[in-house]
Amino acid sequence: MDTLFRFDRPRANQEAIMKSIGNALSLKRNILVNAPTGTGKTDAAIASALSYAIDNNLDLFFLTPKISQHKIAVDSLLGIRKKFDNRIRYIDIVGKRNLCINTEINSLESEAFYKGCEKAVSSKRCVFYTNAKEHSNITEEVVEASYRGHNALFEESFNRGICAYEIATQLAKDADFVIADYAHMLNPYTRTSFLKKISHNLENSIVIWDEAHNILNAASSYMSTSLSSNAIANASKELISIGSSIDLEYLQFMLKKIAERRLSGKNEAFVEKEDIPKEVVENISEVSKQLEKAGVEYLTESKAKRSALMHIANFLVSLNSKDESIASIITKNNKGLRFSLTCLYPEKAIGLFDEVYANIFMSGTLLPLRMYKELFGVSDAITEDYGSPFPKGNKLCLIDDTVSTKYESRSNEEYKKIAERIEEIRMITDGNLAVFFPSFSVLNSVYRNMKKEVDYIQRSEMKSIAVEKFIDEFKKGRDSTMFGVMGGSMSEGIDYANNAIKGIIIVGIPLEKPSLEINAKIEYINKRFNGKGAEYAYLIPGIIRAAQAAGRAIRSENDRAFIIFMDKRYGWSSYRSLLSKFVEISENRNIIDSVSRFLSV
């Protein structure tokens, strides 16, 4: 079979990437591919892996950490179908809640949604699920809509009154290619049921991991949870409302006793095994079942959107199954006490790497490759590192060391200075300007000091449809300013094509906030990987998030953009040496003059 590449000819490096992936697959070997943003690695990986999978009767998964990143894979597959006029079957699947059209259920949150859905289906009260089970409703129009992505499938399903998630999973059973989220495969609590529902198995599958530098953090988050004194208080109110005799006072008592024993004036401390009362440990299984049942009853009677009872039930299950990779931490703040179970290294989750036919790990920031080989546990993997295929003169990278977002430097005066620097650069920029921050807190603090209105501002917990609309509108602008966060939906895996961005400002370094959790993670990685904890768990991840955001502007050989790293720490040798692995920094220190000259060419 010809390589299923949607364009007339590959860009520089794309052909090499396709050959490397094809070679790795023929040897049944994992491969790590580092290639700068704009190289076209997604198209190259899909073309090579899909061609090999079809020839060898294998299934193919394309997994992303964010829903917004599905679009690139969908566009690639649409192009392949159009060019080759073939009948490749693929499906774009997102989480069940994002595809739910039942307004009584999709308004529920967290655990409540899944239990609400389960109960509605089992009691045959969800007409949309029932309609979807009738195969006559999977018309050609529905199938064609699915090829345009999950949003198009949702709209078509909504118009027909059928469950979009059920349709997606039915279509997945016969699909050669499944686009899905990391959570579908990295969450060990849902992976088995998901694969069973779509009738696929790991042994017969090639998995492409897009934005693979996110794998460990994502996997760790699926295995982490917490219990707060507020949650216990809310759960107690839920029990009273349904007339239950269950008493949760002993959990509040447990938190208070742990705090008295471990905190003693501190805001956070480790929780030891002996801090958990024996009666709690011995009855966890039964208590969690009772609380879950009570939570379902509460949701049914109150019509509430979430249940603290169900959250506590899940916490207790996690507490009962924790191992040495989970750090137990008690914290105290103005909201009360919180008992957190934090995964330091997700060994259980990434065990699937050994189960699949082969893994393709790819990213524009998968450096150093040796680090990811170690962390992923794929010591025999092939590694490939490709340089930028674009003219060096098309990108200007500068460090602005006049401000800092370091924690001890943060103040309204410093935020005001940052806002003034952004507005100064905005004044000389002819075209769209994207500004990325280390957190929503810093973004909002700088925004409050802006004298001119910002056109587009990312908000936390934006849904996928809102994100897609937000990005499309920004790209269509000619002189717009966007504020987003590093590591978020706007700064990774998004294609701002056709030189939609003329300039990027990276405000601060998105390092994790110093905490007991971060220190525990560094110590754990130190033990597992020969003293490399600070490098692997703290410094490099922060620089990678900045480099990812910086890579949004240059997407083709014709794009030109400037990138400013706005924080004095980027000039420090430790940070600059890491940053230089991803971008070439200009020595010219007059920011305004340098940007003006660059834009005038």
> Per-residue pLDDT tens for 270-321?
999 999 998 888 889 999 999 999 998 999 899 888 999 999 999 999 998 8
Same domain for 216 and 357, yes or no, is yes
Instruction: Confirm whether 402 is domain-assigned.
Output: yes
Note the pLDDT of residue 109: 86
Same domain for 461 and 544, yes or no, is yes
The answer to whether the CB of 494 falls within 8 A of the CB of 552 is yes
Q: What is the pLDDT of residues 546-595, one digit of tens each?
A: 998 998 888 778 889 999 999 999 999 999 999 998 889 998 778 999 99
More reliable by pLDDT, 552 or 127:
127
Same domain for 421 and 552, yes or no, is yes
Q: Is 528 exposed, middle or buried (0-12, 13-18, 19+ CB in 10 A)?
A: middle
Q: What is the pLDDT of residues 359-388, one digit of tens each?
A: 999 998 899 999 999 999 999 999 999 988
Could you write out the DSSP letters of every residue in 12-61?
Answer: TTHHHHHHHHHHHHHTT--EEEE--TTS-HHHHHHHHHHHHHHHTT-EEE
Same domain for 115 and 67, yes or no, is yes
Note the pLDDT of residue 530: 94
Instruction: Confirm whether 9 is domain-assigned.
Output: no
Q: What is the pLDDT of residues 392-429, one digit of tens each?
A: 889 999 999 999 999 888 999 999 999 999 999 999 99
Torsion of CA 161, 162, 164, 165, to 10 degrees: 140
- Domain around 202: 14-221+347-385
What confidence tier does 85 reach under pLDDT thresholds 50, 70, 90? confident
Same domain for 567 and 426, yes or no, is yes
To which H or E segment does residue 521 belong? helix 516-528
Secondary-structure breakdown of the chain: helix, strand, coil percentages, each rounded to the nearest 5 = 50, 15, 35
Instruction: Confirm whether 553 is domain-assigned.
Output: yes
Same domain for 551 and 468, yes or no, is yes
What confidence tier does 39 reach under pLDDT thresholds 50, 70, 90? confident
Domain boundary (326, 360, 385) is at: 385
Mean pLDDT value across residues 78-85? 91
The answer to whether the CB of 501 falls within 8 A of the CB of 476 is no
d(CA 174, CA 141): 17
Which range, of 254-258, 288-292, 464-468, 567-571, averages the lowest pLDDT? Answer: 464-468
Instruction: Confirm whether 1 is domain-assigned.
Output: no
Domain boundary (335, 360, 385) is at: 385
d(CA 302, CA 533): 47
Residue 584 — left, alpha, or beta (φ > 0 → left; ψ -120 to 50 → alpha)?
beta
Q: Is the pLDDT of residue 148 over 80?
A: yes
Mean pLDDT value across residues 29-43? 92
d(CA 144, CA 152): 9
Same domain for 576 and 590, yes or no, is yes
Strand order through the sheet with 433-437: 395-400, 561-566, 503-507, 433-437, 481-485, 456-457
Q: What is the pLDDT of residues 170-189, one digit of tens each?
A: 999 999 999 999 999 999 88
The answer to whether the CB of 355 falls within 8 A of the CB of 206 is no
Q: Is the pLDDT of residue 43 over 80?
A: yes
The answer to whether the CB of 384 falls within 8 A of the CB of 543 is no
Contacts of residue 523, Cβ cutoff 8 Å, sequence gap at least 6: 533
Q: Is the pLDDT of residue 470 over 90?
A: no
Instruction: Confirm whether 6 is domain-assigned.
Output: no
To which H or E segment does residue 417 belong? helix 412-428
Same domain for 269 and 184, yes or no, is no
Q: What is the pLDDT of residues 478-535, one digit of tens each?
A: 899 999 999 877 777 676 777 789 999 999 999 988 899 999 999 999 999 999 999 9
Same domain for 355 and 417, yes or no, is no
The answer to whether the CB of 409 falls within 8 A of the CB of 456 is no
Structural domain count, the chain: 3
- Identify the CATH number of the domain in which residue 114 sits: 3.40.50.300
Query: Cβ–Cβ contacts within 10 Å for residue 436, how many?
Result: 29
- Identify the CATH number of the domain in which residue 287 sits: 1.10.275.40
Q: Is the pLDDT of residue 135 over 80?
A: no
Instruction: Confirm whether 2 is domain-assigned.
Output: no
Specify which residues 566 forms β-bridges with.
400, 507
Q: Is 534 exposed, middle or buried (0-12, 13-18, 19+ CB in 10 A)?
A: middle
Instruction: Confirm whether 148 is domain-assigned.
Output: yes
What confidence tier does 1 reach under pLDDT thresholds 50, 70, 90? low
Picking from 436, 423, 418, 540, the residue whose alpha carbon sits closest to that of residue 496 is: 436
Same domain for 434 and 577, yes or no, is yes
Same domain for 405 and 450, yes or no, is yes
Same domain for 370 and 453, yes or no, is no
Note the pLDDT of residue 513: 86
Instruction: Confirm whether 103 is domain-assigned.
Output: yes
What CA–CA distances, in Å, run from 546 to 462, 485, 492, 571, 587? 21, 10, 10, 14, 19
Domain boundary (324, 359, 385) is at: 385
Mean pLDDT value across residues 144-151? 96
Place of tokens 């190289």: 39
Note the pLDDT of residue 493: 62
